[in-house]
C-alpha cells in the first residue's frame, strides 16, 4: 500500500510525500521524471552501505546517471566544512540548476543536503529519501534545512522545500531499536499537539509501531506527515502555528545542550519525549491542563520505552537549564516562549512564560 500526502501552502511549490513499502526501488523512475538524466545522491557512510547499491541500481535502471557523495555519519557533519566540501564536489561534477539532488539518510543528511541544495547556484531541487523514522515523520517534511556552529545547533540554514519526499517503511527495518523509539517520540508529539484520537491509537493498538510493526508504522508516518504538512502549509516560516511542532523541544534542547548533545547518553528523540512530559507537567502545574492528561502522557511515553523524568536530576542546575531555554532560538524578546497544552491534542504557544515559574518548576523536577 502506498499513501500520498500533498504538502501545499501559499508560498511554495506543492510537493508530494509518498509513504509505502519498497519505495527505494521506485526512486529511479521518480527522479527520472524530475531530472535531466543525472543526479547526485548525498548520504552518509552507514546508509551508503545499507541502501546505496539498491538506490544506484534503481537510478541506473531508469537511465539516470548517479554519483554517490558520502559524509561521515553523525551530527558533526552538519558543519560549514562538510557543506563546503559537498558544494565543491557538486561544482566539480558540473551540476547545474536544472539538476536534482537526492538526500538519502536521516535528519543530518537531510538538513545538510537540503542546505547545499538551497545554496547551490542560488537553489536547485532536491528529493528527500528519509531513512530514519525521525526523518520520515519530521525533518524531511517542511523545508527546514540547517547546519550547526560551535555556538549552537541549526543556527545557519534556509527554508528550502523538497520537490518530493519518499518515505519507504521497509528501510526502518534496519534501524537500531533505540533509533526507532526516538522517532516514535516525534510521532507521539504529533498526537499530543492536535489529534487526541491519533494519540489514543498510538497508546493502544498502534503501539506495536514503536517495535517496528510495518502496518502500524505506515499509519503512524502517514498521520504524522498529514499533521505536519497541514501546519507547514499554513505557516511555512514559523511566524505562528508552526511553533507548535516544537512541543517538548525547548525543555529537551536545554537538557541535550547540558549533556553536550551526546546521543549515546540522550538521543534527540528521547530529549523530545522527556521535554513533552515536562511540558505537560508544567501545563498541569499552571492549571492549564488536567493532571490526568499529564499523567497519561507520561505513562504512554514510558510504555514506548522513552524517558519521562530527568535522570540524575541533581546534576543539572535549574539556573543553567533556564538560561539555555531562554537562549533557544524559539525565545522571543527576552521572554520565554514555551509550547504548552490545554489537553492531549490541544497544544498552544505561550510567548510570555514567567522565568521564575520555570525556575521553580525545574527545581521540582529535581534540578539543583
Return the number of the residue (87 or 159) whose C-beta is nearest ligand GLY.
159
259 torsion bin: left (phi>0), alpha (psi -120 to 50), beta (else): alpha
Q: Which stretch binds ligand GLY (CB under 6 A): 85-93, 94-102, 136-144, 176-184?
A: 136-144
Return the number of the residue (17 or 32) whose C-beta is nearest ligand GLY.
17
Contact call for residue 367 and ligand GLY (CB under 6 A)? no
Letters for 212-251 (x = contact with ligand GLY by CB under 6 A, - = none) are ------------------------------x--x------
Contact call for residue 253 and ligand GLY (CB under 6 A)? no
Q: Does 363 qualify as catalytic in the annotation?
A: no
Contact call for residue 330 and ligand GLY (CB under 6 A)? no
Q: Give the β-pairing of 164-168 and 125-130.
A: parallel
* Residues 3-32, interacting with ligand GLY (CB under 6 A): none
Work out how close the CB of 134 gets to ligand GLY at its nearest, in angstroms, rounded to a whole number: 10
Work out how close the CB of 104 gets to ligand GLY at its nearest, in angstroms, rounded to a whole number: 20
Work out how close the CB of 317 gets to ligand GLY at its nearest, in angstroms, rounded to a whole number: 27
Return the number of the residue (221 or 245) whose C-beta is nearest ligand GLY.
245
- Say which of 51, 160, 189, 246 is annotated catalytic: 246
Return the number of the residue (13 or 97) whose C-beta is nearest ligand GLY.
13
Give catalytic residues, as residue numbers. Answer: 122, 144, 186, 228, 238, 242, 246, 249, 253, 268
List interacting residues with ligand GLY (CB under 6 A). 138, 142, 144, 242, 245
Amino acid at each position: 500500500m502506498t499513501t500520498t500526502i500533498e504538502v501545499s501552502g501559499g508560498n511554495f511549490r506543492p510537493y508530494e510525500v509518498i509513504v509505502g513499502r519498497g519505495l527505494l526501488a521506485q526512486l529511479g523512475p521518480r527522479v527520472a521524471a524530475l531530472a535531466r538524466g543525472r543526479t547526485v545522491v548525498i548520504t552518509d557512510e552507514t546508509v551508503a552501505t545499507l541502501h546505496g547499491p539498491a538506490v544506484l541500481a534503481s537510478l541506473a535502471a531508469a537511465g539516470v546517471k548517479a554519483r554517490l557523495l558520502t559524509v561521515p555519519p553523525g551530527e558533526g557533519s552538519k558543519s560549514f566544512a562538510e557543506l563546503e566540501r559537498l558544494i565543491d564536489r557538486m561544482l566539480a561534477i558540473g551540476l547545474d540548476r536544472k539538476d536534482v539532488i537526492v538526500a538519502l539518510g536521516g535528519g543530518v543528511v537531510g538538513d545538510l543536503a537540503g542546505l547545499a541544495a538551497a545554496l547551490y547556484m542560488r537553489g536547485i531541487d532536491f528529493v528527500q529519501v528519509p531513512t530514519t523514522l525521525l526523518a520520515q515523520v519530521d525533518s524531511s517534511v517542511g523545508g527546514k534545512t540547517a547546519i550547526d556552529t560551535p555556538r549552537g545547533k541549526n543556527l545557519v540554514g534556509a527554508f528550502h522545500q523538497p520537490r518530493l519526499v519518499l518515505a519507504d517503511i521497509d528501510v526502518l527495518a534496519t534501524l537500531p531499536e533505540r533509533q526507532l523509539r526516538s522517532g516514535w517520540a516525534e510521532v507521539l508529539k504529533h498526537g499530543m499537539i492536535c489529534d487526541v484520537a491519533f494519540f489514543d491509537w498510538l497508546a493502544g493498538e498502534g503501539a506495536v509501531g514503536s517495535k517496528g510493526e510495518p502496518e502500524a508504522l505506515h499509519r503512524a508516518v502517514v498521520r504524522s506527515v498529514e499533521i505536519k504538512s497541514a501546519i507547514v502549509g499554513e505557516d511555512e516560516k514559523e511566524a505562528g502555528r508552526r511553533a507548535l511542532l516544537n512541543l517538548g523541544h525547548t525543555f529537551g534542547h536545554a537538557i541535550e545542550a547540558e549533556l553536550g548533545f551526546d546521543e549515546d547518553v540522550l538521543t534527540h528523540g528521547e530529549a523530545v519525549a522527556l521535554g513533552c512530559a515536562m511540558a505537560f507537567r508544567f501545563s498541569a502545574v499552571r492549571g492549564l491542563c488536567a493532571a490526568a492528561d499529564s499523567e497519561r502522557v507520561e505513562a504512554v511515553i514510558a510504555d514506548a520505552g522513552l524517558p519521562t523524568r530527568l535522570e540524575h536530576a541533581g546534576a543539572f542546575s535549574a539556573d543553567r537549564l533556564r538560561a539555555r531555554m531562554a537562549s533557544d532560538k524559539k525565545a522571543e524578546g527576552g521572554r520565554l516562549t514555551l509550547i504548552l497544552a490545554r489537553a492531549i491534542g490541544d497544544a498552544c504557544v505561550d510567548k510570555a512564560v514567567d522565568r521564575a515559574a520555570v525556575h521553580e518548576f525545574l527545581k521540582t523536577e529535581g534540578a539543583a
